[in-house]
Structure 1
Amino acid sequence: MPDDVQAKDLDKVARNELKTLTKENADWVAMHLVMAGRLLEEDPELAHRHVLSAARRAGRIAVVRESLAISAYAIGDFALALRELRTYRRISGSDEQVPLMVDSERGVGRPDKALELGRSIDRSALTVGAQVSLAIAMSGARLDLGQAELALMELEIPQLDPNKAFSYSPDLFAAYAAVLEELGRTEESAQWQRRADVAARAVFAAEGGGDDETIEVVEEEGEAFADLPGDDAPSAALDDESESAESTDDDDEDDDEDDLDEPSEADEPIELDDPADPDAALDQDVADVELDDSGLDPVHSDSVHIEAATDTDSDAATDAESSDRAAADATDPDEEPRVQNPED
Protein backbone atom coordinates (compact mmCIF):
# COMPACT_ATOMS: atom_id res chain seq x y z
CA MET A 1 0.00 0.00 0.00
CA PRO A 2 1.49 3.41 -0.92
CA ASP A 3 2.55 5.57 2.03
CA ASP A 4 0.21 8.39 1.05
CA VAL A 5 -2.93 6.23 1.36
CA GLN A 6 -4.81 6.87 4.59
CA ALA A 7 -8.13 5.60 5.93
CA LYS A 8 -9.32 9.18 6.41
CA ASP A 9 -9.13 9.68 2.64
CA LEU A 10 -12.29 7.59 2.29
CA ASP A 11 -15.57 9.43 1.90
CA LYS A 12 -17.03 10.35 5.31
CA VAL A 13 -20.33 8.56 4.72
CA ALA A 14 -18.49 5.40 3.69
CA ARG A 15 -16.21 5.64 6.73
CA ASN A 16 -19.26 5.87 8.95
CA GLU A 17 -20.52 2.55 7.55
CA LEU A 18 -17.26 0.91 8.65
CA LYS A 19 -17.57 1.90 12.31
CA THR A 20 -19.11 -1.47 13.22
CA LEU A 21 -15.68 -2.98 12.54
CA THR A 22 -12.69 -2.77 14.86
CA LYS A 23 -10.51 0.28 14.24
CA GLU A 24 -7.75 -1.88 12.73
CA ASN A 25 -10.18 -3.63 10.36
CA ALA A 26 -11.96 -0.42 9.45
CA ASP A 27 -8.72 1.33 8.55
CA TRP A 28 -7.49 -1.66 6.53
CA VAL A 29 -10.74 -1.87 4.55
CA ALA A 30 -10.87 1.89 4.05
CA MET A 31 -7.37 2.03 2.58
CA HIS A 32 -8.19 -0.69 0.06
CA LEU A 33 -11.33 1.18 -0.98
CA VAL A 34 -9.31 4.39 -1.37
CA MET A 35 -6.83 2.56 -3.62
CA ALA A 36 -9.70 1.09 -5.65
CA GLY A 37 -11.08 4.57 -6.22
CA ARG A 38 -7.72 5.84 -7.40
CA LEU A 39 -7.16 2.98 -9.82
CA LEU A 40 -10.66 2.36 -11.17
CA GLU A 41 -10.27 4.18 -14.46
CA GLU A 42 -6.56 3.62 -15.08
CA ASP A 43 -6.30 -0.01 -13.95
CA PRO A 44 -9.77 -1.47 -13.23
CA GLU A 45 -8.39 -5.00 -12.79
CA LEU A 46 -6.12 -3.93 -9.93
CA ALA A 47 -8.89 -1.77 -8.47
CA HIS A 48 -11.13 -4.84 -8.48
CA ARG A 49 -8.47 -6.83 -6.59
CA HIS A 50 -8.31 -4.14 -3.93
CA VAL A 51 -12.08 -4.27 -3.43
CA LEU A 52 -11.94 -8.04 -3.20
CA SER A 53 -9.40 -7.66 -0.41
CA ALA A 54 -11.64 -5.20 1.40
CA ALA A 55 -14.61 -7.53 0.99
CA ARG A 56 -12.69 -10.34 2.68
CA ARG A 57 -13.03 -8.51 5.99
CA ALA A 58 -16.18 -6.46 5.47
CA GLY A 59 -18.59 -8.50 3.37
CA ARG A 60 -21.63 -7.30 5.32
CA ILE A 61 -20.99 -3.61 4.71
CA ALA A 62 -23.17 -2.07 1.99
CA VAL A 63 -20.54 0.32 0.63
CA VAL A 64 -18.11 -2.60 0.18
CA ARG A 65 -20.64 -4.64 -1.79
CA GLU A 66 -21.46 -1.57 -3.86
CA SER A 67 -17.77 -0.99 -4.56
CA LEU A 68 -17.30 -4.59 -5.67
CA ALA A 69 -20.23 -4.27 -8.05
CA ILE A 70 -18.81 -1.11 -9.59
CA SER A 71 -15.33 -2.58 -10.06
CA ALA A 72 -16.84 -5.77 -11.52
CA TYR A 73 -18.82 -3.64 -13.97
CA ALA A 74 -15.65 -1.76 -14.88
CA ILE A 75 -13.85 -4.99 -15.88
CA GLY A 76 -16.87 -6.25 -17.84
CA ASP A 77 -17.98 -8.92 -15.35
CA PHE A 78 -21.65 -7.95 -15.63
CA ALA A 79 -22.94 -11.13 -13.97
CA LEU A 80 -20.91 -10.45 -10.81
CA ALA A 81 -21.84 -6.78 -10.92
CA LEU A 82 -25.53 -7.67 -11.10
CA ARG A 83 -25.23 -10.14 -8.25
CA GLU A 84 -23.44 -7.70 -6.00
CA LEU A 85 -25.79 -4.85 -6.87
CA ARG A 86 -28.73 -7.01 -5.81
CA THR A 87 -26.99 -7.68 -2.50
CA TYR A 88 -26.18 -4.00 -2.03
CA ARG A 89 -29.79 -3.09 -2.72
CA ARG A 90 -31.00 -5.70 -0.22
CA ILE A 91 -28.62 -4.52 2.52
CA SER A 92 -29.04 -0.79 2.02
CA GLY A 93 -32.64 -0.56 0.84
CA SER A 94 -31.50 2.00 -1.75
CA ASP A 95 -32.50 2.09 -5.43
CA GLU A 96 -29.75 4.53 -6.39
CA GLN A 97 -27.77 1.82 -8.21
CA VAL A 98 -30.75 0.49 -10.20
CA PRO A 99 -29.45 2.30 -13.33
CA LEU A 100 -26.25 0.23 -13.11
CA MET A 101 -28.35 -2.90 -12.58
CA VAL A 102 -30.31 -2.08 -15.74
CA ASP A 103 -27.10 -1.65 -17.72
CA SER A 104 -25.70 -4.88 -16.24
CA GLU A 105 -28.82 -6.72 -17.42
CA ARG A 106 -28.02 -5.38 -20.88
CA GLY A 107 -24.46 -6.59 -20.44
CA VAL A 108 -25.59 -10.17 -19.86
CA GLY A 109 -27.86 -9.98 -22.92
CA ARG A 110 -31.23 -9.41 -21.26
CA PRO A 111 -32.54 -6.03 -22.50
CA ASP A 112 -36.17 -7.06 -21.88
CA LYS A 113 -35.41 -7.75 -18.23
CA ALA A 114 -33.48 -4.49 -18.08
CA LEU A 115 -36.57 -2.57 -19.17
CA GLU A 116 -38.75 -4.48 -16.72
CA LEU A 117 -36.39 -3.62 -13.87
CA GLY A 118 -36.24 0.04 -14.84
CA ARG A 119 -40.03 0.30 -14.94
CA SER A 120 -40.41 -1.36 -11.53
CA ILE A 121 -39.16 1.57 -9.46
CA ASP A 122 -40.41 5.04 -8.69
CA ARG A 123 -38.07 7.31 -10.60
CA SER A 124 -39.12 10.37 -8.62
CA ALA A 125 -37.60 8.75 -5.50
CA LEU A 126 -34.14 8.78 -7.12
CA THR A 127 -31.67 11.64 -7.09
CA VAL A 128 -31.65 13.67 -10.28
CA GLY A 129 -28.34 12.17 -11.39
CA ALA A 130 -29.70 8.64 -10.93
CA GLN A 131 -32.83 9.56 -12.88
CA VAL A 132 -30.67 10.66 -15.80
CA SER A 133 -28.50 7.53 -15.59
CA LEU A 134 -31.63 5.37 -15.60
CA ALA A 135 -33.00 7.15 -18.66
CA ILE A 136 -29.72 6.56 -20.52
CA ALA A 137 -29.66 2.86 -19.53
CA MET A 138 -33.30 2.38 -20.54
CA SER A 139 -32.63 4.07 -23.87
CA GLY A 140 -29.72 1.70 -24.46
CA ALA A 141 -31.96 -1.29 -23.77
CA ARG A 142 -34.45 0.04 -26.33
CA LEU A 143 -31.65 0.30 -28.88
CA ASP A 144 -30.62 -3.28 -28.10
CA LEU A 145 -34.14 -4.31 -29.12
CA GLY A 146 -34.11 -2.18 -32.28
CA GLN A 147 -36.60 0.33 -30.86
CA ALA A 148 -34.85 3.58 -31.81
CA GLU A 149 -37.93 5.81 -31.60
CA LEU A 150 -38.73 4.57 -28.10
CA ALA A 151 -35.05 4.94 -27.20
CA LEU A 152 -35.33 8.63 -28.10
CA MET A 153 -38.45 9.03 -25.99
CA GLU A 154 -36.67 7.51 -22.98
CA LEU A 155 -34.20 10.40 -23.11
CA GLU A 156 -36.75 13.18 -23.48
CA ILE A 157 -36.83 14.07 -19.79
CA PRO A 158 -36.86 17.48 -18.07
CA GLN A 159 -33.07 17.32 -17.59
CA LEU A 160 -32.57 17.38 -21.39
CA ASP A 161 -32.14 21.14 -21.34
CA PRO A 162 -29.59 22.47 -23.85
CA ASN A 163 -29.38 25.80 -22.01
CA LYS A 164 -28.16 24.45 -18.68
CA ALA A 165 -25.31 22.08 -17.89
CA PHE A 166 -25.11 19.85 -14.84
CA SER A 167 -22.52 17.14 -14.28
CA TYR A 168 -24.84 14.62 -15.97
CA SER A 169 -25.57 16.79 -19.02
CA PRO A 170 -22.66 15.71 -21.29
CA ASP A 171 -23.63 12.03 -21.08
CA LEU A 172 -27.33 12.79 -21.57
CA PHE A 173 -26.72 15.06 -24.57
CA ALA A 174 -24.31 12.54 -26.14
CA ALA A 175 -26.80 9.70 -25.68
CA TYR A 176 -29.50 11.81 -27.33
CA ALA A 177 -27.15 12.57 -30.22
CA ALA A 178 -26.36 8.85 -30.67
CA VAL A 179 -30.04 7.91 -30.91
CA LEU A 180 -30.72 10.73 -33.40
CA GLU A 181 -27.84 9.38 -35.50
CA GLU A 182 -29.40 5.91 -35.33
CA LEU A 183 -32.62 7.42 -36.65
CA GLY A 184 -30.81 9.08 -39.55
CA ARG A 185 -31.37 12.61 -38.22
CA THR A 186 -27.72 13.53 -38.72
CA GLU A 187 -28.03 17.32 -38.54
CA GLU A 188 -29.81 17.23 -35.20
CA SER A 189 -27.38 14.57 -34.01
CA ALA A 190 -24.39 16.77 -34.81
CA GLN A 191 -26.03 19.69 -33.03
CA TRP A 192 -26.63 17.73 -29.84
CA GLN A 193 -23.12 16.27 -29.96
CA ARG A 194 -21.72 19.80 -30.10
CA ARG A 195 -23.87 20.67 -27.12
CA ALA A 196 -22.49 17.64 -25.28
CA ASP A 197 -18.95 18.85 -26.00
CA VAL A 198 -19.75 22.37 -24.81
CA ALA A 199 -21.34 21.03 -21.60
CA ALA A 200 -18.36 18.72 -20.99
CA ARG A 201 -15.94 21.64 -21.29
CA ALA A 202 -18.09 23.72 -18.96
CA VAL A 203 -18.33 21.01 -16.31
CA PHE A 204 -14.61 20.31 -16.55
CA ALA A 205 -13.76 23.98 -16.09
CA ALA A 206 -16.21 24.27 -13.20
CA GLU A 207 -14.98 21.12 -11.45
CA GLY A 208 -14.91 21.40 -7.68
CA GLY A 209 -18.14 23.34 -7.09
CA GLY A 210 -21.23 22.23 -5.19
CA ASP A 211 -23.64 19.66 -6.57
CA ASP A 212 -26.56 22.04 -6.75
CA GLU A 213 -24.85 24.68 -8.82
CA THR A 214 -26.17 25.18 -12.31
CA ILE A 215 -24.18 26.18 -15.36
CA GLU A 216 -26.37 28.17 -17.68
CA VAL A 217 -25.46 27.73 -21.33
CA VAL A 218 -26.14 30.94 -23.23
CA GLU A 219 -25.87 30.48 -26.97
CA GLU A 220 -24.87 33.76 -28.64
CA GLU A 221 -23.14 34.87 -31.79
CA GLY A 222 -19.49 35.77 -31.49
CA GLU A 223 -16.56 34.24 -29.64
CA ALA A 224 -17.24 31.69 -26.95
CA PHE A 225 -16.69 32.56 -23.33
CA ALA A 226 -17.13 30.89 -19.95
CA ASP A 227 -17.11 31.93 -16.31
CA LEU A 228 -17.55 28.69 -14.50
CA PRO A 229 -17.99 27.62 -10.91
CA GLY A 230 -19.88 24.24 -10.81
CA ASP A 231 -19.27 20.61 -10.13
CA ASP A 232 -18.74 17.22 -11.61
CA ALA A 233 -21.01 14.90 -11.07
CA PRO A 234 -17.64 1.64 -6.18
CA SER A 235 -19.89 -5.87 -3.32
CA ALA A 236 -17.70 -9.29 -2.26
CA ALA A 237 -20.05 -12.10 -1.97
CA LEU A 238 -18.78 -13.49 1.26
CA ASP A 239 -19.61 -13.38 4.91
CA ASP A 240 -17.21 -12.18 7.57
CA GLU A 241 -15.96 -15.08 9.66
CA SER A 242 -15.45 -13.20 12.90
CA GLU A 243 -16.11 -9.47 12.62
CA SER A 244 -15.99 -7.72 15.95
CA ALA A 245 -19.01 -5.72 17.01
CA GLU A 246 -16.89 -3.19 18.88
CA SER A 247 -16.78 0.35 17.57
CA THR A 248 -13.71 2.36 16.75
CA ASP A 249 -11.98 4.43 19.44
CA ASP A 250 -13.59 7.46 21.07
CA ASP A 251 -11.99 9.96 18.74
CA ASP A 252 -13.31 8.15 15.66
CA GLU A 253 -16.78 7.97 17.18
CA ASP A 254 -16.76 11.69 17.79
CA ASP A 255 -15.62 12.27 14.22
CA ASP A 256 -18.35 10.02 12.88
CA GLU A 257 -21.01 11.88 14.84
CA ASP A 258 -19.76 15.13 13.40
CA ASP A 259 -19.74 13.62 9.93
CA LEU A 260 -23.42 12.69 10.18
CA ASP A 261 -24.28 16.32 10.78
CA GLU A 262 -22.58 17.40 7.58
CA PRO A 263 -24.31 17.11 4.19
CA SER A 264 -22.77 14.45 2.02
CA GLU A 265 -21.35 15.30 -1.38
CA ALA A 266 -22.51 13.22 -4.33
CA ASP A 267 -21.03 12.55 -7.71
CA GLU A 268 -17.54 13.65 -6.79
CA PRO A 269 -14.94 12.66 -9.38
CA ILE A 270 -12.62 9.77 -8.54
CA GLU A 271 -9.06 10.84 -7.81
CA LEU A 272 -6.66 8.96 -10.09
CA ASP A 273 -3.04 8.04 -9.42
CA ASP A 274 -0.65 5.77 -11.27
CA PRO A 275 -1.45 2.12 -10.46
CA ALA A 276 0.88 0.31 -8.08
CA ASP A 277 1.96 -3.29 -8.52
CA PRO A 278 0.00 -5.63 -6.24
CA ASP A 279 2.06 -7.13 -3.45
CA ALA A 280 2.04 -10.73 -2.36
CA ALA A 281 -0.41 -10.06 0.45
CA LEU A 282 -2.96 -8.66 -1.98
CA ASP A 283 -2.60 -11.70 -4.24
CA GLN A 284 -3.22 -13.94 -1.24
CA ASP A 285 -6.29 -11.94 -0.25
CA VAL A 286 -7.78 -12.33 -3.71
CA ALA A 287 -7.08 -16.07 -3.68
CA ASP A 288 -8.83 -16.41 -0.31
CA VAL A 289 -12.06 -14.68 -1.33
CA GLU A 290 -15.09 -16.91 -1.84
CA LEU A 291 -18.15 -15.36 -3.46
CA ASP A 292 -21.20 -16.39 -1.44
CA ASP A 293 -23.75 -13.98 -0.04
CA SER A 294 -26.22 -16.59 1.17
CA GLY A 295 -25.68 -15.63 4.81
CA LEU A 296 -26.99 -12.12 4.36
CA ASP A 297 -30.47 -11.37 5.55
CA PRO A 298 -32.52 -9.30 3.17
CA VAL A 299 -33.33 -5.84 4.25
CA HIS A 300 -36.73 -4.61 3.17
CA SER A 301 -37.11 -0.89 3.04
CA ASP A 302 -38.46 1.74 0.86
CA SER A 303 -36.35 3.50 -1.69
CA VAL A 304 -34.22 6.29 -0.35
CA HIS A 305 -35.82 9.63 -1.04
CA ILE A 306 -33.29 12.33 -1.59
CA GLU A 307 -34.17 15.85 -2.42
CA ALA A 308 -32.54 17.01 -5.62
CA ALA A 309 -32.10 20.67 -6.34
CA THR A 310 -33.58 21.76 -9.63
CA ASP A 311 -33.93 25.13 -11.23
CA THR A 312 -37.73 24.93 -11.35
CA ASP A 313 -40.32 22.56 -9.94
CA SER A 314 -41.00 19.44 -11.96
CA ASP A 315 -44.33 20.72 -13.30
CA ALA A 316 -42.81 23.86 -14.69
CA ALA A 317 -39.86 21.93 -16.13
CA THR A 318 -42.22 19.54 -17.89
CA ASP A 319 -44.46 22.30 -19.27
CA ALA A 320 -41.52 24.30 -20.56
CA GLU A 321 -39.54 21.34 -21.94
CA SER A 322 -40.89 21.35 -25.50
CA SER A 323 -40.68 25.10 -26.02
CA ASP A 324 -37.17 25.27 -24.49
CA ARG A 325 -35.87 22.55 -26.78
CA ALA A 326 -37.42 24.12 -29.85
CA ALA A 327 -35.82 27.45 -29.03
CA ALA A 328 -32.48 25.80 -28.32
CA ASP A 329 -32.50 23.92 -31.61
CA ALA A 330 -32.77 27.20 -33.44
CA THR A 331 -29.59 28.52 -31.85
CA ASP A 332 -25.94 27.85 -32.43
CA PRO A 333 -24.73 25.17 -29.95
CA ASP A 334 -21.04 25.97 -30.38
CA GLU A 335 -20.88 28.74 -27.78
CA GLU A 336 -19.18 28.18 -24.42
CA PRO A 337 -21.42 28.23 -21.33
CA ARG A 338 -21.77 30.93 -18.73
CA VAL A 339 -22.38 30.18 -15.07
CA GLN A 340 -25.52 30.78 -13.12
CA ASN A 341 -26.33 29.48 -9.63
CA PRO A 342 -29.83 28.04 -9.09
CA GLU A 343 -30.75 31.01 -6.93
CA ASP A 344 -30.23 33.49 -9.80
Structure 2
Amino acid sequence: MAGDLAKELRSELLTLSKENAEGVARHLVAVGRALDAEEFDLALAHAEEASRRAGRVAGVRETLGVVHYRRGEWAKALAEFRTARRLSGLDHLLPLMADVERGLGRPERALELAASPEAQRLGAAERVEMAIVVSGARIDLGQTAAAVQHLRDMAEASAPNVPWAARLRYAYAAALEADGKPDDAREWFARAAIVDEVGETDARELLGVEPEPDFMDLTGDPEPEPEVEVDAEAEVGREPVVGSSNERPEDPEVDRA
Protein backbone atom coordinates (compact mmCIF):
# COMPACT_ATOMS: atom_id res chain seq x y z
CA MET A 1 0.00 0.00 0.00
CA ALA A 2 2.81 2.43 0.85
CA GLY A 3 4.13 1.82 -2.66
CA ASP A 4 1.22 3.92 -3.96
CA LEU A 5 2.64 7.00 -2.22
CA ALA A 6 5.30 9.40 -3.42
CA LYS A 7 8.87 8.47 -2.54
CA GLU A 8 9.31 11.50 -0.28
CA LEU A 9 6.21 10.65 1.73
CA ARG A 10 7.21 7.00 2.04
CA SER A 11 10.53 8.19 3.46
CA GLU A 12 8.74 10.34 6.03
CA LEU A 13 6.70 7.35 7.20
CA LEU A 14 9.91 5.47 8.01
CA THR A 15 10.04 7.50 11.22
CA LEU A 16 7.03 5.48 12.41
CA SER A 17 6.80 1.88 13.53
CA LYS A 18 6.26 -0.53 10.66
CA GLU A 19 2.71 -1.34 11.72
CA ASN A 20 1.77 2.30 12.17
CA ALA A 21 3.43 3.33 8.91
CA GLU A 22 1.43 0.74 6.99
CA GLY A 23 -1.79 1.89 8.61
CA VAL A 24 -1.10 5.55 7.92
CA ALA A 25 -0.16 4.73 4.32
CA ARG A 26 -3.50 2.99 3.82
CA HIS A 27 -5.33 6.06 5.06
CA LEU A 28 -3.31 8.40 2.83
CA VAL A 29 -3.97 6.31 -0.26
CA ALA A 30 -7.67 6.26 0.65
CA VAL A 31 -7.60 10.07 0.91
CA GLY A 32 -6.30 10.38 -2.63
CA ARG A 33 -8.92 8.01 -4.00
CA ALA A 34 -11.73 9.73 -2.12
CA LEU A 35 -10.66 13.15 -3.41
CA ASP A 36 -10.50 11.83 -6.96
CA ALA A 37 -14.10 10.67 -6.52
CA GLU A 38 -15.03 13.98 -4.82
CA GLU A 39 -16.08 12.08 -1.69
CA PHE A 40 -14.90 14.84 0.61
CA ASP A 41 -16.38 13.55 3.87
CA LEU A 42 -14.67 10.20 3.39
CA ALA A 43 -11.41 11.94 2.49
CA LEU A 44 -11.60 14.00 5.67
CA ALA A 45 -12.23 10.94 7.83
CA HIS A 46 -9.16 9.16 6.46
CA ALA A 47 -6.98 12.29 6.64
CA GLU A 48 -7.94 12.97 10.24
CA GLU A 49 -7.17 9.37 11.24
CA ALA A 50 -3.79 9.57 9.52
CA SER A 51 -3.08 12.80 11.37
CA ARG A 52 -4.14 11.25 14.68
CA ARG A 53 -1.65 8.43 14.14
CA ALA A 54 1.17 10.49 12.62
CA GLY A 55 0.65 14.13 13.53
CA ARG A 56 4.38 14.91 13.48
CA VAL A 57 4.82 13.81 9.86
CA ALA A 58 4.79 16.86 7.57
CA GLY A 59 3.29 15.03 4.60
CA VAL A 60 0.39 13.80 6.72
CA ARG A 61 -0.42 17.32 7.91
CA GLU A 62 -0.11 18.58 4.34
CA THR A 63 -2.60 15.93 3.23
CA LEU A 64 -5.08 17.01 5.88
CA GLY A 65 -4.59 20.61 4.79
CA VAL A 66 -5.32 19.72 1.17
CA VAL A 67 -8.55 17.99 2.20
CA HIS A 68 -9.66 21.11 4.09
CA TYR A 69 -8.61 23.17 1.05
CA ARG A 70 -10.74 21.08 -1.27
CA ARG A 71 -13.67 21.42 1.15
CA GLY A 72 -13.30 25.21 1.22
CA GLU A 73 -12.42 25.17 4.92
CA TRP A 74 -9.85 27.90 4.54
CA ALA A 75 -8.84 28.59 8.13
CA LYS A 76 -8.32 24.89 8.88
CA ALA A 77 -6.38 24.43 5.65
CA LEU A 78 -4.08 27.35 6.48
CA ALA A 79 -3.40 26.00 9.96
CA GLU A 80 -2.42 22.59 8.57
CA PHE A 81 -0.26 24.05 5.81
CA ARG A 82 1.59 26.21 8.34
CA THR A 83 2.19 23.18 10.54
CA ALA A 84 3.39 21.08 7.61
CA ARG A 85 5.74 23.86 6.51
CA ARG A 86 7.17 24.20 10.00
CA LEU A 87 7.72 20.44 10.29
CA SER A 88 9.33 20.07 6.87
CA GLY A 89 11.22 23.35 6.61
CA LEU A 90 10.13 23.52 2.94
CA ASP A 91 8.31 26.29 1.10
CA HIS A 92 6.45 24.40 -1.65
CA LEU A 93 3.11 25.06 0.08
CA LEU A 94 3.37 28.84 -0.29
CA PRO A 95 1.15 28.99 -3.42
CA LEU A 96 -1.57 27.03 -1.63
CA MET A 97 -1.22 29.21 1.44
CA ALA A 98 -1.54 32.31 -0.73
CA ASP A 99 -4.66 30.92 -2.38
CA VAL A 100 -6.12 30.16 1.04
CA GLU A 101 -5.59 33.81 1.95
CA ARG A 102 -7.70 34.67 -1.09
CA GLY A 103 -10.35 32.26 0.15
CA LEU A 104 -10.33 34.04 3.49
CA GLY A 105 -10.94 37.34 1.70
CA ARG A 106 -7.38 38.60 2.17
CA PRO A 107 -5.93 39.04 -1.33
CA GLU A 108 -3.40 41.54 0.01
CA ARG A 109 -1.93 38.79 2.21
CA ALA A 110 -1.69 36.56 -0.85
CA LEU A 111 0.35 39.23 -2.61
CA GLU A 112 2.61 39.61 0.43
CA LEU A 113 3.35 35.88 0.44
CA ALA A 114 4.07 35.98 -3.29
CA ALA A 115 6.57 38.80 -2.76
CA SER A 116 8.39 37.08 0.10
CA PRO A 117 12.03 35.99 -0.31
CA GLU A 118 10.97 32.36 0.15
CA ALA A 119 8.57 32.61 -2.79
CA GLN A 120 11.39 33.80 -5.05
CA ARG A 121 13.18 30.49 -4.45
CA LEU A 122 10.28 28.24 -5.46
CA GLY A 123 10.67 25.64 -8.18
CA ALA A 124 9.27 26.11 -11.65
CA ALA A 125 5.90 24.45 -11.05
CA GLU A 126 5.34 26.32 -7.80
CA ARG A 127 6.28 29.63 -9.43
CA VAL A 128 3.60 29.09 -12.05
CA GLU A 129 1.04 28.24 -9.38
CA MET A 130 1.98 31.35 -7.43
CA ALA A 131 1.66 33.49 -10.56
CA ILE A 132 -1.85 32.09 -11.07
CA VAL A 133 -2.73 32.96 -7.48
CA VAL A 134 -1.32 36.48 -7.84
CA SER A 135 -3.39 37.04 -10.97
CA GLY A 136 -6.49 35.90 -9.09
CA ALA A 137 -5.67 38.19 -6.18
CA ARG A 138 -5.38 41.13 -8.58
CA ILE A 139 -8.82 40.28 -9.94
CA ASP A 140 -10.15 40.13 -6.36
CA LEU A 141 -8.84 43.66 -5.85
CA GLY A 142 -10.38 44.90 -9.10
CA GLN A 143 -6.95 45.26 -10.72
CA THR A 144 -7.87 43.31 -13.84
CA ALA A 145 -5.30 44.89 -16.16
CA ALA A 146 -2.56 43.95 -13.71
CA ALA A 147 -3.98 40.41 -13.54
CA VAL A 148 -3.63 40.10 -17.32
CA GLN A 149 -0.16 41.61 -17.37
CA HIS A 150 1.09 39.29 -14.64
CA LEU A 151 0.36 36.18 -16.71
CA ARG A 152 0.75 37.44 -20.29
CA ASP A 153 4.42 36.70 -20.92
CA MET A 154 4.34 33.40 -19.06
CA ALA A 155 1.23 32.19 -20.88
CA GLU A 156 2.39 33.25 -24.33
CA ALA A 157 5.88 31.75 -23.95
CA SER A 158 5.02 28.54 -22.10
CA ALA A 159 5.07 25.37 -24.21
CA PRO A 160 1.85 23.36 -24.61
CA ASN A 161 3.42 20.17 -23.24
CA VAL A 162 4.46 21.41 -19.79
CA PRO A 163 2.42 19.96 -16.90
CA TRP A 164 0.88 23.30 -15.96
CA ALA A 165 -0.10 24.39 -19.49
CA ALA A 166 -3.87 23.91 -19.09
CA ARG A 167 -4.09 25.66 -15.73
CA LEU A 168 -1.90 28.56 -16.84
CA ARG A 169 -3.83 29.13 -20.06
CA TYR A 170 -7.14 28.89 -18.23
CA ALA A 171 -6.04 31.42 -15.61
CA TYR A 172 -4.87 33.81 -18.30
CA ALA A 173 -8.21 33.42 -20.09
CA ALA A 174 -10.04 34.17 -16.84
CA ALA A 175 -7.96 37.32 -16.38
CA LEU A 176 -8.73 38.45 -19.93
CA GLU A 177 -12.43 37.82 -19.35
CA ALA A 178 -12.36 39.82 -16.10
CA ASP A 179 -10.61 42.66 -17.95
CA GLY A 180 -13.42 42.88 -20.50
CA LYS A 181 -11.74 41.06 -23.40
CA PRO A 182 -14.18 38.22 -24.16
CA ASP A 183 -12.82 37.36 -27.62
CA ASP A 184 -9.25 37.04 -26.38
CA ALA A 185 -10.52 35.10 -23.37
CA ARG A 186 -12.33 32.62 -25.59
CA GLU A 187 -9.18 32.03 -27.62
CA TRP A 188 -7.21 31.21 -24.47
CA PHE A 189 -9.97 29.04 -23.03
CA ALA A 190 -9.72 27.13 -26.32
CA ARG A 191 -5.96 26.84 -25.94
CA ALA A 192 -6.50 25.49 -22.43
CA ALA A 193 -9.03 22.95 -23.71
CA ILE A 194 -6.61 21.70 -26.37
CA VAL A 195 -3.96 20.70 -23.84
CA ASP A 196 -6.28 19.70 -20.98
CA GLU A 197 -6.22 15.94 -21.42
CA VAL A 198 -7.26 15.03 -17.86
CA GLY A 199 -9.99 17.59 -17.16
CA GLU A 200 -8.05 19.91 -14.84
CA THR A 201 -10.25 22.81 -15.98
CA ASP A 202 -13.79 23.27 -17.24
CA ALA A 203 -12.58 24.97 -20.43
CA ARG A 204 -14.37 22.50 -22.71
CA GLU A 205 -17.65 23.00 -20.89
CA LEU A 206 -17.28 26.78 -21.15
CA LEU A 207 -16.73 26.43 -24.90
CA GLY A 208 -19.62 24.00 -25.34
CA VAL A 209 -17.35 21.21 -26.59
CA GLU A 210 -18.78 17.76 -25.93
CA PRO A 211 -16.44 15.21 -24.30
CA GLU A 212 -15.39 12.25 -26.41
CA PRO A 213 -17.78 9.28 -26.09
CA ASP A 214 -16.57 6.52 -23.79
CA PHE A 215 -16.97 3.49 -26.05
CA MET A 216 -14.92 1.49 -28.53
CA ASP A 217 -15.64 1.98 -32.22
CA LEU A 218 -15.54 -1.42 -33.95
CA THR A 219 -16.35 -0.12 -37.44
CA GLY A 220 -12.78 0.82 -38.23
CA ASP A 221 -13.76 4.40 -39.08
CA PRO A 222 -11.92 6.90 -36.86
CA GLU A 223 -14.03 9.41 -35.01
CA PRO A 224 -13.25 13.06 -35.82
CA GLU A 225 -11.47 15.03 -33.15
CA PRO A 226 -13.73 17.46 -31.24
CA GLU A 227 -13.39 20.91 -32.76
CA VAL A 228 -12.02 23.70 -30.59
CA GLU A 229 -11.68 27.20 -31.94
CA VAL A 230 -8.14 28.55 -31.69
CA ASP A 231 -5.77 30.74 -33.59
CA ALA A 232 -3.47 28.13 -35.13
CA GLU A 233 -0.80 30.63 -36.15
CA ALA A 234 -0.49 31.88 -32.59
CA GLU A 235 0.06 28.30 -31.38
CA VAL A 236 3.18 27.78 -33.51
CA GLY A 237 6.71 28.41 -32.28
CA ARG A 238 6.03 28.59 -28.55
CA GLU A 239 9.17 28.20 -26.46
CA PRO A 240 9.14 27.27 -22.77
CA VAL A 241 10.33 29.84 -20.27
CA VAL A 242 9.97 27.66 -17.20
CA GLY A 243 11.18 24.15 -16.57
CA SER A 244 9.06 21.04 -16.29
CA SER A 245 7.96 19.53 -13.00
CA ASN A 246 2.41 18.29 -8.87
CA GLU A 247 0.03 18.94 -5.65
CA ARG A 248 -2.10 21.16 -6.62
CA PRO A 249 -2.80 21.90 -6.77
CA GLU A 250 -4.51 21.15 -9.37
CA ASP A 251 -5.40 20.65 -8.08
CA PRO A 252 -2.67 19.94 -5.53
CA GLU A 253 -1.64 16.24 -5.34
CA VAL A 254 -2.70 15.00 -1.98
CA ASP A 255 -0.10 12.34 -1.41
CA ARG A 256 2.54 14.04 -3.56
CA ALA A 257 2.37 10.93 -5.72
User: Shorter-chain TM-score: what band?
Assistant: 0.7 to 0.9
**2:31/2:43 contact within 8 Å kept:** yes
> What is the root-mean-square deviation of aligned Cα atoms in Å?
2.7
> After TM superposition, where is structure 1 displaced by more than 6 Å over at least 4 residues in a row?
267-271
Aligned-residue offset at 1:8:
2.7
**2:113/2:119 contact within 8 Å kept:** no
**2:63/2:254 contact within 8 Å kept:** no
Which protein shows a greater Rg? 1
Distance 1:10 1:173 in 2: 29
AA of the residue aligned to 2:143: Q
Structure 2, gaps ≥5 residues long: 201-230, 235-243
Aligned position for 2:35: 40
Cα offsets for 1:257-313 (capped at 9, x unmatched): xxxxxxxxxx99779xxxxxxxxxxxxxxxxxxxxxxxxxxxxxxxxxxxxxxxxxx
Structure whose residues are more often helix by fraction: 2
AA of the residue aligned to 2:164: Y
Cα offsets for 1:29-88 (capped at 9, x unmatched): 111001001111321221111010001011000100110110110111110000111111
Distance 2:246 2:34 in 1: 18
Change (3 A) 1:202 1:87: closer
2:25 maps to which of 21, 26, 30: 30
AA of the residue aligned to 1:127: G
Aligned position for 2:138: 142
Distance 1:29 1:188 in 2: 47
**1:165/1:203 contact within 8 Å kept:** no
Q: Is 1:72–2:68 an aligned residue pair?
A: yes
Distance 2:133 2:252 in 1: 21
The structure with higher relative contact order (CA 8 Å, sep 6+) is 1
Aligned-residue offset at 1:220:
6.2
**2:148/2:176 contact within 8 Å kept:** yes
Aligned position for 1:194: 190
Change (3 A) 1:14 1:130: same
Distance 1:163 1:65 in 2: 34
Aligned length in residues: 212
Distance 1:203 1:35 in 2: 21
Distance 1:164 1:105 in 2: 29
**1:232/1:268 contact within 8 Å kept:** no
Alignment of 1:291-310 (within 5 A): none
AA of the residue aligned to 1:113: R
Q: Is 1:87–2:89 an aligned residue pair?
A: no
Distance 1:56 1:187 in 2: 50
Alignment of 1:206-285 (within 5 A): 219=232, 233=246
The alignment-based identity, stated in percent, is 42
AA of the residue aligned to 2:75: A
Distance 2:135 2:27 in 1: 35
Distance 2:254 2:102 in 1: 25
